[in-house]
Amino acid sequence: MKPDLSVEICGLKLKNPVMPSSGSFGLPGYEEYMDLNGLGALVVKSITLNPRLGNPPPRIAETTAGMLNAVGIQNPGVKWFIENDLPLLKRFTPPLIVSIAGTTVEEFAQATELLEKEEGIAAYEINVSCPNIEAGGRAFGMSAAATQAVVAAVRKRTRRPIFTKLTPNVTDIVEIAQAAVEAGSDGLTLINTLLGMAIDVKLRRPVLANVLGGLSGPAIKPVALRCVYQVAQAVKVPIIGTGGISSATDVLEFLLAGASAVQVGTANIVDPYAMLKIIADLEKYLAENNVASVREYIGALKTH
Amino acid sequence: MNVSHILTVTKNEDQGAGYFHLVARAPELASAARPGQFIHVLCAPGVDPFLRRPFSFYRLRPEAGEVEIYYQVVGKGTHLLSQIQPGTKLDALGPLGQGFPLDPKAQRILILGRGIGTAPLIALAEAARAQGTGVSAILSARNPDAIIGDRLLASWGVEVTTVTDESGTSDPAQVEPLLAAALDKPGTAQAFVCGSRRLARLLRRLAAARGIPAFGSLEERMGCGLGGCLVCACRVRTPEGETYKRVCNDGPVFPLEEVVLG
């Protein structure tokens, strides 16, 4: 019998628990290379109220088992997104999750208001955790009060599910997670990139023009797993786990730690077909191990 | 379109000056690709190095089912690639990017290459010769050993001018009269540059003065190669002001009048 890969998260029915992390996968764009309907959900790159130019290059630095990026939320703005990208993205069957970013609470609120008028959006991901949007790697998600203010502002303007994406660059991620949930976040996405840097010794300069960037890839998987585990112990809302996932067993590790679904990010940058391979491997793994449903793994970690 | 390919390396030879010439069997890729496009290669299995490396095509030989790249060993990825033996399988994405917009009716084109940046211009020159278009070539490098493709070009009847740092002939001020004379050859309809921002700026100025469309193939640190991650940003001028385009997907070939050559 074919194992059941489907999961449900905040009312979103996913045919499998695997979706791209925001900004790692061209949406729209990659429909040219593969069938996007095989994915559990579609998550777009963060949209801001106004267009953002992004940071100067170099925007990427290779690291051991990972990479740093400092793109700086380059995007055409919410109006352009609604007019140009949304009509294309609505044609696909997986639920569409629109990621919203901003530099003020008001920007998050106004972007949400504009998106609210549109059909075809299943949920929002609130990106309070990008380290490349403000100088010095600051982010709303580094403060419980600021996180709460952003989530509350978005909550007031939508009945669609909200996933707040948190940063690991904090002393206590549980405190921030609780603040987001109290402000009305229906679910959480854990984690965004780790603030980092790379230096070119020959040039005596930072590799990234932005100096600081966000570390992602297999190198951060243990940190991401730890965050998902800690937060899952403390809050009742569903969690989307992300951080260094590149195989089917990575997916199961995140589900065991307490996630209900996962996002694949940096693995897409190395191989655009990574998610489709992971989904196929997941089905194979469950079949070989006589597991009827992937849901059996969610929060099933044995710690005794 | 599936852009994932497994290539079989048939040759991977040290050419001196830190350059290697790699030939791989990949019939589908060889048929689909155009000059100026590139492949995005996993240089070694595992996570170190972590990212792919982009290489423009040096030659496309669909009749033989082969593609060729010419690369310079500069870091871990290209070092590991240089160690690969014939028979090895390579994981590559391609063909990626927008190729050179070679005018099928061009009577003559000019190519201006520096160092390893000459590689994609060789594929372009081969396509131009195949359609009966004349080619003028100016090739620049540190020293004569670091000039690539000159013999191949000569075998196609291309008149090649070489300039080098070693002989003190490669400075833009000295290249300027050579380039002007080449652009002034009757019938020169397009000009193409790769491998030097200084030469690109020079070509942009001289070509614009003559009303000749000029194009450059650009380089930037790259992530996905498919236009999804936005890391390989190239600053361009548009009617609405300056913005960033993606080297991998909007380029790597851009009209020189559009790009900001810092």
Judged by CB atoms closer than 8 Å, whether chains meet at B51 and A58 is answered as: no
Nearest of A190, A185, A210 to residue A131 by alpha carbon: A210
Alpha-carbon distance B68 to A121, whole Å?
45
A-chain residues within 8 Å CB-CB of B259? Answer: none
Does B252 reside within a domain? yes
C-alpha count within 13 angstroms, C-beta hemisphere, residue B236: 21
Q: What confidence score (pLDDT) does residue A135 get?
A: 64
Distance from CA of B232 to the nearest CA of A (A): 7
Q: What is the ipTM of this complex?
A: 0.94
**pLDDT the model gives residue A1:** 79
Residues of A in contact with B52 (CB under 8 A): 270
Does the beta carbon of A56 lie under 8 angstroms from any beta carbon of chain B?
A: yes
Encode chain B (262 residues) as per-residue pLDDT tens digits.
Answer: 899 999 999 999 999 999 999 999 999 999 999 999 999 999 999 999 999 999 999 999 999 999 999 999 999 999 999 999 999 999 999 999 999 999 999 999 999 999 999 999 999 999 999 999 999 999 999 999 999 999 999 999 999 999 999 999 999 999 999 999 999 999 999 999 999 999 999 999 999 999 999 999 999 999 999 999 999 999 999 888 899 999 999 999 999 999 998 7
Contact A57 B224 (CB under 8 A): no
From the candidates A33, A43, A73, A79, which should be mutated to test the interface with B, based on the most B CB atoms within 10 A?
A: A33
Residues of chain A numbered 132-191 and touching chain B (CB < 8 Å)? none
Q: DSSP for A225-275?
A: HHHHHHHHHH--S-EEEESS--SHHHHHHHHHHT-SEEEE-HHHHH-TTHH
Asked if residues B51 and B80 have their Cβ atoms less than 8 Å apart, the reply is no
Tell how far CA A231 is from the center of its chain. Answer: 16
Token couple for A183: 């402000």
Question: Which 215-234 residues of chain A touch chain B by CB within 8 A?
Answer: 217-218
Instruction: For residue B138, give Cα distances in angstroms to A10, A106, B220.
Output: 62, 56, 23
Compute the 3-state secondary structure of chain A and give helix, strand, coil in percent, each to the nearest 5: 35, 20, 45
> Which of A60, A73, A201, A207 is best to mutate for the B interface (most B CBs within 10 A)?
A60
Residue by residue, DSSP assigns A14-73 as ESSSEEEPTTSS-TTTGGGTS-GGGSS-EEPPPB-SS-B--PPSP-EEEETTEEEE----
Q: Which residues of B touch A69 (CB under 8 A)?
A: 223, 229, 231
What whole-number distance in Å separates Cα of residue B51 and Cα of residue B251?
Answer: 19
Q: CA A47 to CA A51: how far, in whole Å?
A: 8
B196 lies in the same domain as B130: yes
Q: Is B124 on the interface with A (CB under 8 A)?
A: no
Q: What is the pLDDT along chain A (304 residues), one digit of tens a residue?
A: 799 999 999 999 999 999 999 999 999 999 999 999 999 999 999 999 999 999 999 999 999 999 999 999 999 999 999 999 999 999 999 999 999 999 999 999 999 999 999 999 999 999 999 877 776 667 899 999 999 999 999 999 999 999 999 999 999 999 999 999 999 999 999 999 999 999 999 999 999 999 999 999 999 999 999 999 999 999 999 999 999 999 999 999 999 999 999 999 999 999 999 999 999 999 999 999 999 999 999 999 998 8
Structurally, chain B folds into a number of domains equal to 3
Q: Considering B35, B66, B96, which residue would you say is the last residue of a domain?
A: B96
Strands annotated E in B17-130: 19-25, 38-41, 53-56, 59-61, 66-72, 89-96, 108-114
Interface of A with B in 28-47 (CB under 8 A): 29-30, 32-34, 45
Distance, in Å, from the CA atom of B93 to the CA atom of B101, rounded to the nearest integer, reads 21
Give helix A144-155 / helix A105-116 axis angle, nearest 10°.
Answer: 20
Q: How many CB atoms lie within 10 A of CB B13?
A: 12
With an 8 Å Cβ cutoff, is A206 touching chain B? no
β-strand partners of A240: A189, A261
DSSP B142-184: SSGGG--SHHHHHHTT-EEEEEETTTT--SHHHHHHHHHHHHT
Residues 6 or more apart in contact with residue B41 via CB below 8 angstroms: B52, B53, B54, B55, B81, B90, B91, B92
- Within 8 A by CB and 6+ apart from B142, the residues are B17, B115, B164, B165, B166
CATH number for the domain spanning B244: value is 2.10.240.10
Q: CA A123 from chain center: how many Å?
A: 13
Q: Please tell me whether residues B205 and B223 are part of one structural domain.
A: no
Chains A & B: contacts with CB separation below 8 Å: 104
A7-54+71-195+215-297 placed in CATH 3.20.20.70: yes
- Max CA pair span of chain B: 53
The two tokens of residue A71 are 């793109």
Q: What is the pLDDT of residue B169?
A: 97
Question: Who among A34, A54, A270 is closest to B51 (CB)?
Answer: A270
Residues of chain B positioned with their CB less than 8 A from the CB of A23: 229-230
Say whether both B208 and B117 belong to one domain. yes
Residues B53, B91 within the same domain:
yes
> What DSSP character marks residue B214?
E
- Whole-number pLDDT of residue B36: 98
Distance, in Å, from the CA atom of A243 to the CA atom of A217, rounded to the nearest integer, reads 6
Give the whole-angstrom CA distance, residue A50 versus residue B239. 18
B222 with B204, same domain?
Answer: no
Chain B touched by A272 (CB under 8 Å): yes
Residues in CB range of A119: below 8 A, 6 or more apart: A90
- The predicted pLDDT at position A139 comes to 87
Q: A269, A271, A273: which to substitute to probe chain B, counting the most B Cβ within 10 Å? A: A269
Which chain A residues are within 8 Å of B1, Cβ to Cβ?
A: 32-33
The pLDDT, as a whole number, for residue A265 is: 98
B102 lies in a domain? no
- Say if CB B4 and CB B41 are below 8 A apart: no
Cβ-Cβ contacts under 8 Å for A285 (sequence gap 6 or more) = A248, A249, A252
A1: nearest Cα among A281, A291, A277: A291
Does B103 fall in a domain? no
Structure confidence by residue, pLDDT tens digits, B108-130: 999 999 999 999 999 999 999 99
Q: Which long-range contacts (CB under 8 A, 24 or more apart) does B129-134 make?
A: B129/B156, B129/B157, B129/B158, B131/B102, B131/B104, B133/B102, B133/B103, B133/B106, B133/B107, B133/B108, B133/B109, B134/B107, B134/B108, B134/B109, B134/B185, B134/B187
Of B184, B199, B214, which closes a domain? B214
User: How many beta carbons lie within 10 A of that of residue B70, not counting itself?
Assistant: 22
Query: Is B205 domain-assigned?
Result: yes
Beta bridge partners of A43: A97
Query: Is residue B170 domain-resident?
Result: yes
Show the tokens assigned to A61.
């630095």
Strand B134-141 vs strand B108-114: parallel, antiparallel, or unpaired?
Answer: parallel
CA dist A209 and B220 (Å) reads 13
**Alpha-carbon span A177 to A232, nearest angstrom:** 10
Domain residues for the domain of B147 are: 108-214
Inspect the interface and report whether the beta carbons of A60 and B50 lie closer than 8 Å: no
Are B42 and A67 a contacting pair at CB < 8 A?
no
Neighbours of B63 (CB within 10 A): 9
Q: Are residues B114 and B204 in the same domain?
A: yes
Neighbour tally for A186: CB within 10 Å: 20
- Cβ of B48 and A65 within 8 Å? yes
| Boundary of a domain, candidates B64, B96, B128 | B96
